[in-house]
Structure 1
Amino acid sequence: MTEVQTVKSSTISFFDLPIEIIEQILPEIEHHRDLINFACTSQLSSQLVIPHHTEYRILRLGTSSSAHIWTHLARRPDLACNIREIDIELHAARPPREPSALIEDVDFEERTWEVREDEIARALGYMRRLKSFAWEHRSLSPTFPGPNERHFAPVVLDTLQKIGTVEHLYLDMDHWFKFNEPIEECGLWRMSQLHSLALRGTYEAEDWPSRSTRNAMVLVNWLNSLTSLEVLRLPWGMFEEHQTLLFFPKLRYLNIQYTESTAVVLDFLERHPTLQDLTWYSNWNFPAPSQLPSNFLPELRRFEGRYDFFEVLASRTEINGDLIPIRKFESLILHWMDEDDYFDKLCACPGIDHQALRILSLANDYWNIHELAVAFPMIEELYLPPGPVFDFESFLSGIEQFKHLKILYRSLVWTDLAIETGGVPADLQDPELQSIVNERIQALARRCPSLTQIGHPKATDWYIEIYREESGQISSRNEFVFQRPLCSRFEMDSYWLWDP
């Protein structure tokens, strides 16, 4: 036998491996598109991947229809172990994502509205690759609906703490801290591996006052154990009095809910120079530029809040002989702009790198599309409210100057058509209106070669997606579709999760 024949005969195909080994390899494929690409290579690979892996990466469930899902996952540890992300929503505002092909083990007669405590604990316990967990149950007690309104928050959090893999945690519910007594025993306070943390909802001051030493120090000690934390959103009042005790060495994103303690916030910000993204709607007592140190938030790239505070951040004031450096903002979402000349000052602002800005959203209805294109030519996402005067042809001549524009939000394109917002229909019923919409989409797509999404004319959360042929021409097969963006709660680059 020749050497070539020897090598050929010893070559082992991936599918020659024992199925146990293959099933250890496939879960390591993280991205859905990679799973699909692998599934498309052969019929055998398709049988291995679909639906055992393609439908068992992300679960997006409504609380009123999830009981049979938990029953199914509690019975199938081989499938539950592939789950990476769980998103439980009270109102299921976004499209659900749940397995549809392999729930035959839960007969229709078995299905019930009530989630069993042992099943949810067992199912979560199998999810040893779970990274992200979000639970939105605002305005109701944190329970899964059922005849007995069982209180499952302790079970859920204790199980998540035991599996020890969750890095991104989002809880949005009222009275979320009243889970266990004594408070130290709740699994939440023992989860020290978190990279992202958002706790939203109301709480009773008499139950959890910041001046209550025992509860406050439990919170402070737990937060300080999160040394890998990069993203933080907390009710500020819960740790305001103890914020000087807190330090997060890797903090990149901070969302500060309303507070009157501007000085306290500034002190916290100054001690976290790693911050890149800040959401803070400061009150009227914002500081003068001279009150900030020259190296205040040197890494800040994204800001959402009052225009007044943006002016402070973008000031070129000289402090102790040092000129505040130019800020390279990539995203600005500015609100409460009461000055008539704010737009002119923004466009001419000397304290920011105009070439760096990629995302811009303004709340004031005074703007000029042509001036904006000259001031910020690299913008990729643009949201402007309807202006006092709107002419589509003039707008089109201005918008085409944004050579890198990818997303154009709803209010800009349809502002003169008086289209009522609301539910999203399958199509626009009025043929004349539909014709206008089509013409505008075509015109925008031709003038803006990078444009991929336009805000839907009838709903703020939906977009029209533009398809182009490989030649760059707009597809005649399917010019646009109506769809809601299927973004993840934990896409950390976009921070979709942290929008108010």
Structure 2
Amino acid sequence: MFSYYEYPDTSDWNNPSRSNKNFLSLPAEVLDQIISELDLRSDLTSLALANRTCYHLVVPRHSEYRVIRTRHRLAAMWGHLARRSDLARNVRKVHCCSKDNHTTPDQYPSSLVPQGPSNPQQELHLELTRLSNICIALRHMTHLQEFIWENPDDQQLSSSLSACNEGDILESLGESTRLTHLSLSGAMRLRPSSPARQLEQIWNMKHLRYVCLRGEVWGLPSMGGIVQEFLMQSPLLEFLEVPLEITSLADSLFPSLKKLRLFLQSGAGSSSAKSWSTFVANHLALEEFSCTPLLVNLPADGLPLLKCFQTDINSLGEFGTAHNTPSLDSIDATLPLNSLGEKFLKSGNCSNLRRLCLRTWPTTAFLRFTKVFPNLTWLSVEQCPVMQLDNLLCYLSQFRYLEVFRGHAIWKSVDYNDDRMHLAIVKLVQMCLNLRELDHRTYYAKRRAYKRIVITREEQEDGSLGVTYEVRKPPPRSCFDTAGGIFD
């Protein structure tokens, strides 16, 4: 039988012998309500370390009920959350990810969850019940701030989802008054289970600030008007990621929009490009913009507040070249540079550039860019020709403020030899005094990125500077990053 959580014994907290009343003198129910307002796990950890009583108040009732991030069905957990509204209300983030998504580690409650079915086939039969419990649990999550849903590739499971209809899940989310981040992707059907309900009626999320829509369903002509109506209910929208196929948003205006990410899903014609060109021209306050490939005609006068730019800069034409006010901080250029690309990088718009990512970088241009971008702190070169180590280190030392260098240029120069790479790092830290991170040669498939060589400088007892380094996993990625984790 499922046993309910027992509050810790507080019978002696109000003992007259206690010299001073404090936080713990409050009733247990009030304490639980106060702690439920703490969002950050770090704050919960600090409170739990205060004393034994605080520990039992926080663990596991709160420590395990802030983030749910899972690649598995976990029918027992969802049943537990559907029954325990007092625990489900504490959840801030729900990420239901596909099985191959290892970009962030799994995290979900387990201590208070009763044992569920372990046979995968048995769990599949309970799928409809699980999805029903998800809807109930989401209604309990009154503090929910972020919801990410990735449809699994399992065909059997997809048929179950179709029967239950994911529209019910979205309708449950509509009851949340704190939901600000929403990401939906996969082969979603988006139909409510009740024939009396229409898709337009399930959208009721007026506090959204970050919206990411991926999947073939969003590119369907029938979805354009629905997406437009849904998004127009979100006056606070700051981040938007949608396929270029959605042309209905061309006439929409989002006053708070600062981050826009567009991607080509199944093919977009000239009408899509024209529509989105109008959209961008109406949102000159954009600070981050990503569009690959670049099918949008950007405003001739540029985007005056643009700070992060990810696209094929060889397709820009005259965009921003006449703009004298420096604003761009980060650029990711997806194709090799030609004269048009170099012209843009040398414009006044890029004079304060801090982070630059290039797919290829000809050796002849290397030293020239050290003079164009003297304040560069972050540099990535994905495909770099084999160079002499001393020459490469000399080039990098020209970037006086360089902190991060991505790519395998140094590894190539030492033939991917660990001992020679050690000597190269020893030289490099002496020439680049601010360097703190390099790419390792090992690819970490789970995070879809290379491991990192992290350099640490510490002052020793004798006053000298000690330098050490270690290899770490790449950090987790957020799906709400405009540049897709390029500049982590």
Q: Is the 8 A contact 1:462 1:482 kept in 2?
A: no
**Structure 2 letter corresponding to 1:203:** V
Question: Following superposition of structure 1 onto structure 2, how do residues 211-290 of structure 1 map, counting pairs within 5 Å?
Answer: 216-238=224-246, 240=247, 242-258=248-264, 259-261=268-270, 262-281=273-292
Q: Is the 8 A contact 1:175 1:204 kept in 2?
A: no
CA 411–452 in structure 1, closer or farther in 2 if over 3 Å, else same: same
**Among candidates 173, 185, 207, match of residue 160 of structure 1:** 173
Residue 5 of structure 1 aligns with which residue?
none
Question: Following superposition of structure 1 onto structure 2, how do residues 20-419 of structure 1 map, counting pairs within 5 Å?
Answer: 20-62=29-71, 64-90=72-98, 91-99=100-108, 102-106=111-115, 113-114=123-124, 115=127, 116-137=130-151, 151-177=164-190, 184-185=198-199, 189-203=203-217, 208-209=220-221, 216-238=224-246, 240=247, 242-258=248-264, 259-261=268-270, 262-281=273-292, 292=299, 294=301, 296-310=302-316, 312-316=318-322, 324-337=323-336, 339=338, 341=339, 345=343, 349-354=346-351, 356-367=352-363, 368-416=365-413
Q: Deviations over 1:16-47 (max 9, x none)?
A: 22222221222322222333333333343333
Using the alignment, how far apart are the partners of 1:102 and 1:187 within structure 2? 38
Using the alignment, how far apart are the partners of 1:183 and 1:282 within structure 2? 38
**SS of equivalent residue, structure 1 residue 486:** coil
- 1:393, CA displacement in angstroms? 2.8
**SS of equivalent residue, structure 1 residue 312:** coil
Q: Deviations over 1:146-194 (max 9, x none)?
A: 9887545122211111223321111111245456667734665332321
- 1:464, CA displacement in angstroms? 2.2
TM-score (norm 1): 0.78
- 1:469, CA displacement in angstroms? 5.9
- 1:495, CA displacement in angstroms? 5.5
**SS of equivalent residue, structure 1 residue 190:** coil
- 1:445, CA displacement in angstroms? 4.5
**Structure 2 letter corresponding to 1:130:** L
**Structure 1 letter corresponding to 2:382:** P
**Structure 2 letter corresponding to 1:169:** L
Using the alignment, how far apart are the partners of 2:354 and 2:51 within structure 1? 41
TM-score (norm 2): 0.79
Q: Is the 8 A contact 1:273 1:298 kept in 2?
A: yes
Q: Deviations over 1:213-239 (max 9, x none)?
A: xx543333222222111111222323x
Q: Is the 8 A contact 1:260 1:283 kept in 2?
A: no
Determine whether 1:13 maps to 2:22: yes
Residue 437 of structure 2 aligns with which residue?
453
Using the alignment, how far apart are the partners of 1:467 and 1:55 within structure 2? 33
Q: Is the 8 A contact 1:220 1:245 kept in 2?
A: no
CA 74–96 in structure 1, closer or farther in 2 if over 3 Å, else same: farther
Greater alpha carbon shift after TM alignment, 147-156 vs 260-269: 147-156
Using the alignment, how far apart are the partners of 1:276 and 1:75 within structure 2? 44
**Equivalenced residues, count:** 450
Using the alignment, how far apart are the partners of 2:235 and 2:290 within structure 1? 21
- Structure with more relative contact order (C-alpha pairs < 8 Å, separation 6 or more): 2
- 1:371, CA displacement in angstroms? 3.2
Identity, in percent, stands at 22
Structure 2, unaligned stretches of length 5 or more? 1-16
Q: Is the 8 A contact 1:301 1:327 kept in 2?
A: no
Q: Is the 8 A contact 2:174 2:202 kept in 1?
A: yes
CA 407–26 in structure 1, closer or farther in 2 if over 3 Å, else same: farther
Using the alignment, how far apart are the partners of 2:165 and 2:425 within structure 1? 48
- 1:416, CA displacement in angstroms? 3.9
